[in-house]
């Protein structure tokens, strides 16, 4: 059987081909799945998609009409998939429920320290042989307070690093993580966390209840010299409200690996095209770093994602169901 994989990065392609070798043929495309590209999947029973795929109702209908029966998404998040439509169309949908939490947690800290220590500005200066220190003043993390919003596997990994820095730990989640409590974390309400934290890092999924979790009111609660990091999902932050606060001179730094309107932008070369006004304004602030949803992008994490995707395909063909299945599309063996 030949499997069609959409949105495959050049680094991923040899890993995907190696993982499927001896089992199935795989056709890797660098284009992302959307309304325009969905017809390419006609005749493919199994397709694999990336995190930025458009799996709304119209695309799902095109896939179902073309004979697709399994969608194996290579990500944990699935806010881009209309699961109700998928179930109605008898499409089976699977995701990757787990991969290295260290990849994202370590990158979140990379963003935090890069804005804290003005690394981008410093590197830009030294390329011009400008070795002044003016404007590069950072601060110690030791002894300061970190607020971790979402203390699941990634949030816990982020917390362990914060503990290593010697920080005071505040957490907010629907349930306490005993491992974080064991590190000395105090769970408080969101408002207290935002008001007291010197660094706030987001590690919750994007759900209706968490959309714009950090809105203008939440931003107003934060310290003027706080650092805000988001390596989870762009829709957690009201970006327009964030721009307003940045224009007012607030925040020591902001590190964003995700953006709420990133679909159709991230993972693509837009250097010769225009982007939306909010993102264009955001990247002009000297205390802001925006990266292109790369926190997960390590050899370890990508390898685990691909291995889980292969297993999802094998489970489908064997009629098995695992925890990765979001929508079952056929009777289980």
Question: Which positions are annotated as active-site residues?
Answer: 233, 262, 293
Q: What six digits make up the tokens of 10? A: 């050049």
Instruction: Match 């629907």 to its residue by tokens.
Output: 174
Query: Which of 10, 14, 2 lies closest to 45 in space, CA to CA?
Result: 2
The CA distance from 83 to 263, in Å, is 18
Q: How far apart are CA 15 and CA 218, in angstroms?
A: 41
- Note the helical H segments in 46-118: 57-65, 83-88, 101-116
Q: How far, in Å, CA of 7 to CA of 40, rounded?
A: 13
Instruction: Give the DSSP H or E segment for 94.
Output: strand 92-94
72 within 8 A of 49, measured Cβ to Cβ: yes
Alpha helices in the chain (DSSP H): 13-20, 57-65, 83-88, 101-116, 119-127, 153-165, 178-182, 190-196, 216-221, 239-247, 277-282, 299-318
Question: Percent helix, strand, coil in the chain (nearest 5)?
Answer: 35, 15, 50
Q: How far apart are CA 269 and CA 12, in angstroms?
A: 17
Identify whether the C-beta of residue 254 lies closer than 8 Å to the C-beta of residue 242: yes
């Amino acid at each position: 059987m030949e499997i069609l994989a959409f949105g495959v990065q050049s680094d991923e392609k040899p890993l995907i081909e190696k993982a499927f070798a001896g089992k199935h043929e795989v056709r890797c495309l660098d284009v992302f799945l959307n309304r325009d590209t969905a017809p390419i999947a006609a005749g493919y029973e199994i397709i694999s998609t990336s995190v930025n795929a458009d799996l709304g109702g119209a695309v799902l209908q095109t896939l179902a009409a073309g004979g697709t029966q399994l969608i194996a998404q290579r990500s944990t998040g699935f806010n881009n998939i209309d699961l109700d439509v998928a179930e109605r169309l008898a499409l089976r949908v699977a995701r990757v429920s787990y991969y290295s939490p260290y990849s994202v947690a370590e990158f979140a800290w990379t963003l935090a320290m890069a804005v804290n220590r003005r690394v981008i500005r410093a590197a830009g200066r030294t390329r011009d042989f400008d070795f002044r220190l003016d404007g590069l003043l950072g601060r110690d993390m030791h002894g300061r307070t970190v607020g971790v919003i979402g203390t699941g596997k990634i949030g816990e990994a982020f917390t362990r690093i914060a503990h290593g820095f010697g920080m005071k730990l505040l957490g907010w989640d629907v349930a306490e993580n005993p491992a974080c409590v064991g590190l000395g974390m105090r769970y408080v309400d969101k408002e207290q966390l935002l008001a007291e934290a010197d660094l706030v890092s987001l590690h919750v999924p994007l759900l209706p209840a968490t959309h714009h979790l950090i809105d203008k009111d939440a931003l107003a609660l934060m310290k003027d010299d706080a650092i805000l990091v988001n390596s989870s999902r762009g829709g957690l932050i009201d970006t327009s409200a964030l721009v307003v606060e940045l224009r007012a001179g607030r925040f020591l730094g902001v590190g964003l690996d995700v953006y709420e309107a990133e679909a159709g932008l991230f993972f693509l070369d837009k250097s010769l095209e225009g982007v939306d006004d909010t993102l264009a304004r955001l990247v002009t602030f000297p205390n802001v770093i925006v990266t292109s949803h790369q926190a997960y992008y390590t050899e370890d994490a990508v390898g685990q994602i691909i291995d889980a995707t292969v297993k999802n395909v094998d489970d489908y063909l064997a009629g098995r169901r695992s925890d990765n299945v979001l929508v079952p599309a056929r009777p289980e063996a």
